């Protein structure tokens, strides 16, 4: 029997060694060189006794062995190969097992020195090793050894390293606080950890081997992430209902080297308690928000009762602080420019305090001569100084006993009076000029200034210890240019107020209102109030127009239509940008009929225009 008669041998190349040193092992299966030499000798001499010995040897290995020539013709195979694969000598491997032949052909052509790969044949999984047969440095054929997956399983499980790894994996899976299901590619359950047993109140024995479709049909679960992943081959997350409890399941596919689905791992967690806690937190937050809204509504009602107009965040914050500090007796230092409303803040603090029924005494420290300030504050006895009343006189501290004393322009207080004020703040006692005994009075002190107190302390014009005593709770009152949202409501309020006083009905044109909005008001609210009174009194018609405005406003508007020049100290970039933005939006509103057209003209989205119009009250 001439196996290779007329066959062309392929070049051996540099990848292989001579046949007499060739030994290959495929998972413990050794094709010894004596078998190969015997086969080659049989091929050369066509000796039947040797051929029978080679067949006996291949059968004795108890392995599936196939030997092919360069054209893929089977020239030798073991008995197990014939039984398992239903092939025989003389069959063409390319025809019988085409998927396998592609790899064998690469070895025969020399593009692979050898190969090992998993393969499915007739519904069974095998691990295949393919090695070339070499004669005279030329490839003469190939030997293929196949090991069934069940044999591989048995061999692997006998390895000590497998047992160690298996124990570690079991420990990890079983100790997980999350439930774990492991399913095969068909969504059959093959592993369940204790956490899942607890979640589903069942045992692993009742679940292993069952298909997820059956579990759904039996109403064990309402949906299966594993089943959906086995169909979509993608990670699936879903919520399940289990006896009134909510479970979150995440199914992750596991693929082999051929990108075929082999396993689906499902992690699940009972989120019922988490959801209940979330609902409780939301309820508490809603209660908190309700109380906050109620408190803000009460504060707003108080502010409206005081005829205080606050629309800008800075002014709302200052008023909120005022209401808060009114409930305590701490000293308050009110800071802000002249005309910004520091006295109004002092009124609010007093009227919302427990001292509201007691007097509020106001004194401007800068309006009283230095020689008289101490007598005015602390009082004097008869004969204390030339011109003193014969009966003496109580000072403002005594007049404010039980109530509040507001010291405006506190920075103008002389150093000698600062010492006596500090003593009162420390022990609550005062001493009249010309008297030797102290008097205890119950007075809350509110102070205000437009100057930089820290700079005054540094220059030695104000005592540091007194500054700390007064500055227990500082409140910053913003200048009117920093309260841009308040300007229009303030103008309308004072125009209506003075119109009612005069007995007329006045209103502003849009042009006049725009000019008044742009003006920076260096005199703050006091200047705005005076302007409104002047316009109401001096305008000839019921409609106040640009011609009725003072020259400083019309000049400022003409020279600076967007209000970009003559920026006052303290005006921030954001305030300037807001001012310009509002002016542009007002102009756009006059030119276009709707928000969509405005958005197109300004090159932004319609939602942006809507938000900014609400922001500027347009």
Q: Is residue 253 within 8 Å of residue 264, measured between CB atoms? A: yes
SS3 state of residue 261? strand
Domains 10-154 and 173-270 share a fold: yes
Per-residue pLDDT, 186: 87
Cβ atoms within 10 A of the Cβ of 320, count?
17
Count CB atoms within 10 A of the CB of residue 273: 10
* Residue 219 pLDDT: 79
pLDDT at 62: 75
Structure confidence at residue 12 (pLDDT): 39
| Helix, strand or coil, per DSSP, at residue 300 | helix
Q: Could you give the CA distance from residue 514 to residue 533 in angstroms, rounded to a whole number?
A: 18
Q: What is the pLDDT of residue 100?
A: 79
Residue partners of 84: CB distance under 8 A and separation at least 6? 64, 122, 124, 146, 148
Which CATH number is 572-618 given? Answer: 1.10.10.60
Q: What is the pTM of this model?
A: 0.45
Are 232 and 217 in contact by the 8 Å Cβ rule? The answer is no
Yes or no: domain 306-476 corresponds to CATH 3.40.50.300: yes
Which regions in the chain score pLDDT beneath 70?
Answer: 1-53, 150-168, 170, 175, 287-307, 383-391, 557-571
Contact 112, 5 (CB under 8 A): no
Domain ranges of the chain: 10-154, 173-270, 306-476, 572-618
Q: What is the pLDDT of residue 409?
A: 92
Domain 173-270: give its CATH code.
3.30.450.20
* Per-residue confidence (pLDDT) for residue 166, from 0 to 100: 59
What pLDDT does 1 receive? 33
Q: Which of the four CATH numbers 3.20.20.80, 3.40.50.2000, 3.40.80.10, 3.30.450.20 does domain 10-154 have?
A: 3.30.450.20
CA torsion 374→375→380→384, rounded to 10°? 90
pLDDT given for residue 295 in this prediction? 52
Listed in sequence order, the residues at least 6 apart from 167 whose beta carbon sits closer than 8 Å to its beta carbon are: none
8-state DSSP, 8? P
* Predicted pLDDT of residue 214: 87
């Amino acid at each position: 029997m001439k196996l290779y008669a007329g066959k062309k041998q392929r070049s051996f190349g540099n990848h292989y060694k001579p046949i007499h040193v060739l030994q290959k092992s495929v998972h413990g299966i050794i094709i010894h060189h004596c078998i190969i030499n015997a086969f080659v000798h049989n091929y050369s001499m066509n000796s039947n006794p040797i051929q029978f010995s080679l067949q006996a040897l291949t059968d004795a290995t108890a392995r599936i062995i196939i030997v092919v020539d360069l054209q893929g013709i089977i020239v030798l195979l073991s008995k197990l190969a014939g039984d398992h694969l239903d092939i025989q000598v003389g069959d063409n491997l390319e025809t019988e097992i085409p998927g396998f032949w592609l790899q064998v052909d690469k070895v025969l052509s020399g593009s692979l020195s050898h190969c090992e790969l998993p393969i499915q044949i007739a519904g069974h999984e095998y691990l295949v090793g393919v090695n070339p047969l070499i004669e005279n440095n030329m490839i003469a054929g190939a030997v293929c050894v196949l090991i069934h997956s069940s044999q591989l399983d048995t061999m692997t499980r006998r390895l000590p390293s497998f047992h160690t790894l298996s124990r570690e994996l079991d420990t990890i899976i079983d100790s997980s606080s999350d439930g774990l299901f492991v399913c095969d590619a068909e969504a059959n359950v093959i592993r369940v950890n204790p956490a899942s047993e607890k979640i589903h109140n069942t045992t692993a024995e009742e679940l292993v081997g069952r298909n997820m479709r059956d579990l759904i049909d039996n109403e064990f679960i309402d949906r299966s992430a594993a089943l959906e992943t086995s169909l979509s081959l993608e990670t699936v997350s879903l919520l399940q209902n289990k006896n009134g409890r909510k479970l979150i399941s995440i199914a992750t596919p596991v693929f082999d080297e051929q990108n075929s689905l082999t396993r689906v791992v499902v992690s699940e967690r009972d989120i019922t308690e988490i959801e209940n806690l979330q609902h409780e937190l939301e309820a508490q937050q809603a209660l908190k928000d309700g109380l906050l809204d109620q408190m803000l509504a009460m504060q707003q009602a108080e502010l409206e009762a005081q005829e205080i107009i606050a629309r800008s965040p800075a002014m709302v914050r200052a008023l909120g602080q005022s209401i808060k500090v009114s409930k305590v007796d701490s000293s308050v230092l009110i800071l802000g420019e002249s005309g910004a409303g520091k006295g109004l803040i002092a009124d609010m603090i007093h009227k919302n305090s427990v001292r509201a029924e007691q007097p509020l005494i106001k004194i401007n420290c800068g309006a009283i001569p230095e020689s008289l300030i101490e007598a005015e504050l602390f009082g004097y006895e008869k004969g204390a100084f030339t011109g003193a009343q014969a009966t003496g006189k109580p000072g403002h501290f005594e007049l404010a006993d039980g109530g509040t004393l507001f010291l405006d322009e506190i920075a103008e207080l002389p150093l000698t009076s600062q010492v006596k004020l500090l003593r009162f703040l420390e022990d609550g006692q005062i001493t009249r000029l010309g008297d030797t005994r102290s008097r205890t009075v119950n007075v809350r002190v509110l102070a205000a200034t437009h100057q930089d107190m820290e700079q005054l302390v540094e220059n030695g014009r104000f005592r540091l210890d007194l500054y700390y005593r007064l500055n227990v709770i500082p409140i910053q009152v913003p200048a009117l240019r920093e309260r841009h949202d308040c300007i229009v409501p303030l103008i309308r309020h004072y125009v209506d107020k003075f119109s009612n006083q005069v007995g007329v009905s006045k209103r502003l044109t849009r042009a006049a209102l725009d000019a008044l909005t742009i003006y920076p008001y260096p005199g703050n609210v006091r200047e705005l109030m005076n302007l409104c009174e002047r316009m109401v009194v001096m305008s000839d018609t019921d409609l106040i127009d640009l011609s009725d405005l003072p020259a400083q406003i019309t000049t400022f508007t003409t020279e600076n239509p967007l209000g970009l020049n003559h920026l006052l100290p303290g005006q921030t970039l954001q305030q300037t940008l807001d001012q310009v933005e509002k002016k542009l939006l007002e102009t756009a509103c006059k030119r276009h009929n709707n928000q969509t057209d405005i958005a197109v003209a300004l090159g932004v989205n319609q939602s942006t225009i809507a938000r900014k119009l609400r922001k500027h009250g347009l």
